[in-house]
Structure 1
């Protein structure tokens, strides 16, 4: 179903329950995702706000990965290819905004803080029996609540060089592996210098920067699941919680407590 004057939102999972009364500016889709369940790359005809009131979402788009606990959502502009999944069982709530009735012109994905008020508004708009006036008022307030927050995307692309890729795959399997590039080189048949150049050319960042990003990527779902900072630090390769918090702040822009704290 779609509001009068619009076609249905493209790219919506067929199992989704979508509430989109005639005349509304925002449609709300709800569906469950299992652990590590992903929707392949797709795009929508409407802008999307991807959010999970329960569980943790992950979105891959434009060469980046966003991990989204319930405290944040991701704005995905219409037409942007993306893949969506869950790092643990999740209830996904997707809001779809008709571009011709949306005041925002963001051209790239934006992280949004989900306040208590925004959370309640999303739940309110998921009801099918709201009258037209109540829905319009709630939509206006919801639009007023959408503000991007300043956080940096975690990004750890895979290098193209097959030897560097072997190293990257091993580190994805065990982010805490502390072998040096020279030690990895002896394993994959390349010098440490060659591997360093392959990471720089294939990922756009130094090996040290890439490994730090990979560790943050691995840490995100653990933190979102409630694992303690000290345990996460150890599991992704940091010698102390303070070193991990410092790396998280450098990589994301805020400390773990600020990123995952209820708003």
Structure 2
């Protein structure tokens, strides 16, 4: 992604090669639809903060959606792929393993406070090899403190590894408006209902119905963040009425989709 703090003579350096606790960048794309990074990994942990647009990140057994005013933490060494949608703005920070000792050991989505956002913005304007003592070092220390206490958000969809179940999941994600029952999906997969139910619970920790509802939640957040209307999202997810979709969304995230996105774009 283009670097916001690029200056004359700026050259890309692999963050893994920079001996500093945090290496941060600003990123901006006017149209990120279709932008994708294939599966890869870094030695350092990675924090991706979204201000506008949305990211979907698949990280070793899970899919995370990152809407505006949220971030995703990817531990060092984790294999991950990233897709973007909408006009994208945000910040990208790489955290050295020694500095990440108090950060989560597993991938997670986190809410972003105004202070954390401003600290990342300041860090994104530091030179690669900023002074490891003094004001810049104190800035980085406070940033690490804020990252460590950022509240975790439930924007995660467990992804199965079993090939039979992954085929079903891929079909459901490709056609989220298909409201077929467990019996119908089991028939399509060539297995019994109980077998499918047991398999998806073993692989994801969720029932079939709970997993499908969570799929609807993460897709809804992604599409809404990309600019789709509530009516469009309800239709894409196969709901017969907007109120039915709003009820599901409110139960899952504690607020209506309209209010959820308004809060994400405020300030």
TM category, shorter = 0.7 to 0.9
1:54-104 C-alpha deviation (Å, 9 max, x unpaired)? 321121113111111221001222222222221335345221122223451
8 Å contact kept, 2:85–2:226: no
Aligned residue for 2:151, secondary structure, equals coil
Count residues with an aligned counterpart.
245
RMSD: 3.7
Are residue 151 (structure 1) and residue 153 (structure 2) matched?
yes
Return closer, same or farther for 1:249/1:28 CA change in 2, 3 Å cut-off.
same
8 Å contact kept, 1:48–1:78: yes
Shift of 1:167: 5.4
| Range that drifts further, 128-137 or 114-123 | 128-137
Return closer, same or farther for 1:16/1:240 CA change in 2, 3 Å cut-off.
farther
Aligned residue for 1:208, secondary structure, equals helix
8 Å contact kept, 1:55–1:90: yes
Are residue 28 (structure 1) and residue 24 (structure 2) matched?
yes
Aligned residue for 1:247, secondary structure, equals helix
8 Å contact kept, 2:48–2:90: yes
8 Å contact kept, 2:87–2:226: no
Return closer, same or farther for 1:140/1:181 CA change in 2, 3 Å cut-off.
closer
Return closer, same or farther for 1:17/1:169 CA change in 2, 3 Å cut-off.
same
* Gaps in structure 2 of 5+ consecutive residues: 1-10
In 1, Cα distance between equivalents of 2:158 and 2:241:
22
| Range that drifts further, 217-226 or 253-262 | 253-262
Q: Within 5 Å, give how 1:204-223 maps onto structure 2.
A: 204=204, 205-223=206-224
Aligned to 2:110: 112
8 Å contact kept, 2:186–2:196: no
Aligned to 1:5: none
Aligned residue for 2:156, secondary structure, equals coil
Aligned to 1:54: 52
In 2, Cα distance between equivalents of 1:74 and 1:106:
11
Aligned residue for 2:153, secondary structure, equals coil
Instruction: Give 2:43's match in structure 1, choosing from 32, 42, 45.
Output: 45
Structure with higher RCO (Cα < 8 A, 6+ apart): 2
Q: Within 5 Å, give how 1:133-152 maps onto structure 2.
A: 133-146=134-147, 147-152=149-154
TM-score, normalized by length of structure 2?
Answer: 0.72
In 2, Cα distance between equivalents of 1:46 and 1:74:
14
Are residue 176 (structure 1) and residue 215 (structure 2) matched?
no
Shift of 1:235: 2.4
Shift of 1:117: 2.6
8 Å contact kept, 1:59–1:82: yes
Aligned to 2:91: 93
Shift of 1:108: 0.9
8 Å contact kept, 2:66–2:155: no
1:234-262 C-alpha deviation (Å, 9 max, x unpaired)? 32122344432443344456654347624
